[in-house]
Amino acid sequence: MFNAQQTATATIDTAALLHNYQCIKNIAPASKVLAVLKANAYGHGLVQIAKALPQANAFGVARIEEALELRQGGIVQPIVLLEGFFDKQHLPIIAANNLQTVVHNRQQLEALEQADVEDAIQVWLKIDTGMHRLGIEPDECAEFYQRLRQCKVVKDNLRLMSHLACADDLESEQTRHQQQLFEQITAPFSGERTLANSAAICAWPECHYQWVRPGLMLYGIDPRISEGALPIDLQPVMTLHSSLIAIRHIKAGESIGYSAAWQAKQDTCIGVVAIGYGDGYPRHAQNGTPVLINGREVPLVGRVSMDMITVDLGVAAKDKIGDHVELWGKNLNINRVAAHATTIAYELLCNISRRVKIILR
């Protein structure tokens, strides 16, 4: 008998997405939600995630191409370019497509001053409060604010933002410092403010302001690294799964896969699963990375290949070709897999490749 075998598939649970959205609203009830959809909605599928979130007040992306893909997909909500524009030629496109832009440097300010576009553009002025990545200096805020207010192509209701470096760490003093500086710099100016990513939404209510900017937690993953953080009832949106395509009986002392990197200490059954780094499964996942087969946790053994991984099913295994394998999601926390691959959930999600079928449920 030949059982059809499923290859790498990501099932997207839109009910879980809505549940997580509601969690965010419960935690930050007074804030509007700018749902962050960059990098193909963290691997979940850009347009389909936007369509599943009609209640979001705005969407955030990192590249103008992502924003235009949303518009072409029929998305009408405000879309914010979180890093602003990289080319002044993009200003007419931004205006014509009703996109909003962050301004974090002088080139962007000057481009807006010189621009001649039909429709006024909503600007979010980004201030560096200590992350030292994007943002104007605190002492430049008054100048930028005044000059932007005088730009005829910039809408009057400027918004103010900054980004936190350590919000996932409850012990760190940095968040308090950044929040106080943000408060102090922006106090003289009117306009809605935003500071919080997922970790700050969960852990730092004083950072909520008028807008929150959740990414990771929308997708159901707890962003906090600190132990002792109160649990939040998030539900994973993506479950990545595949199936067993071979089962091999291995004798003690025999090795598995490339570089013969793992040797069996005793006789055992090895399962071969149809997923590899060509699908986005992390090549650096170590021996012992958890994999769920028929609801039972087994360890990854040997090197991750492009199209396959191998797992130790144990000598008495009853698993069959075609059986279901979960790599992360509903029943296996992606943060555990990330820890075994010396990376973070964000990277695992973004690395999901085109070959993986995405199924909306």
Ligand X SMILES: *Cc1c(COP(=O)(O)O)cnc(C)c1O
- Return the CA Rg of the chain: 24
Q: Does 198 bind ligand X (CB under 6 A)?
A: yes
Q: Of the two residues 134 and 247, which places its CB atom closer to ligand X in the complex?
A: 134
Q: Which stretch binds ligand X (CB under 6 A): 17-25, 117-125, 196-204, 266-274?
A: 196-204
Q: Of the two residues 225 and 358, which places its CB atom closer to ligand X in the complex?
A: 225
Footprint of ligand X on 132-191 (CB under 6 A): 163
Footprint of ligand X on 218-247 (CB under 6 A): 223
- Alpha helices, H only, the chain: 14-27, 38-43, 46-51, 64-72, 91-96, 106-114, 141-150, 174-186, 198-203, 334-340, 345-350
Q: Which stretch binds ligand X (CB under 6 A): 180-188, 212-220, 270-278, 288-296?
A: 212-220
Q: Which stretch binds ligand X (CB under 6 A): 150-158, 210-218, 261-269, 335-343?
A: 210-218
Nearest of 26, 77, 38, 76 to residue 56 by alpha carbon: 77
Q: Is 9 exposed, middle or buried (0-12, 13-18, 19+ CB in 10 A)?
A: middle
Q: Among 45, 84, 130, 214, which residue interacts with ligand X (rule: CB under 6 A)?
A: 214
Chain residue whose CB lies nearest ligand X:
215
The reply to whether 155 belongs to the active site is no
Q: Of the two residues 215 and 282, which places its CB atom closer to ligand X in the complex?
A: 215
Q: Among 90, 193, 213, 303, which residue interacts with ligand X (rule: CB under 6 A)?
A: 213
Minimum CB distance to ligand X, residue 147 (Å) = 22
Tokens coding 127 = 């201030």
The reply to whether 258 belongs to the active site is yes
- Hey, is 59 helix, strand or coil? strand
Minimum CB distance to ligand X, residue 316 (Å) = 42
Footprint of ligand X on 285-304 (CB under 6 A): none
Q: Does 282 bind ligand X (CB under 6 A)?
A: no
Q: Of these residues, 51, 145, 219, 258, which one is catalytic?
A: 258
Q: Does 215 bind ligand X (CB under 6 A)?
A: yes
Minimum CB distance to ligand X, residue 265 (Å) = 41
Q: Which residues contact 74 (CB under 8 A, 6 or more apart)?
A: 47, 51
Q: Which stretch binds ligand X (CB under 6 A): 20-28, 110-118, 195-203, 276-284?
A: 195-203
- Hey, is 358 helix, strand or coil? strand
Bridge pairing between strands 357-360 and 9-12: parallel
Quote the CA–CA distance of 40 and 46 in Å, as a whole number: 4
Minimum CB distance to ligand X, residue 105 (Å) = 15
Q: Of the two residues 42 and 277, which places its CB atom closer to ligand X in the complex?
A: 42
Instruction: Fill in the amino acid letter for 152.
Output: K
Q: Of these residues, 25, 32, 38, 152, which one is catalytic?
A: 38
Q: Among 31, 108, 179, 197, which residue interacts with ligand X (rule: CB under 6 A)?
A: 197
Footprint of ligand X on 15-54 (CB under 6 A): 36, 38
Q: Which residues contact 178 (CB under 8 A, 6 or more apart)?
A: 129, 130, 131, 162, 164, 165, 195
Count, residues near ligand X per rule CB under 6 A = 12
Quote the CA–CA distance of 41 and 240 in Å, as a whole number: 15
Quote the CA–CA distance of 160 and 150 in Å, as a whole number: 16
Count of other CB atoms within 10 angstroms of residue 190? 10
Footprint of ligand X on 80-99 (CB under 6 A): 82
Q: Which stretch binds ligand X (CB under 6 A): 151-159, 207-215, 295-303, 315-323?
A: 207-215
CA distances to 113, 250, 255, 347 from 313, in Å: 65, 11, 15, 28
Binding site for ligand X (CB under 6 A): 36, 38, 82, 163, 197-199, 213-216, 223
Q: Which residues are catalytic?
A: 38, 258
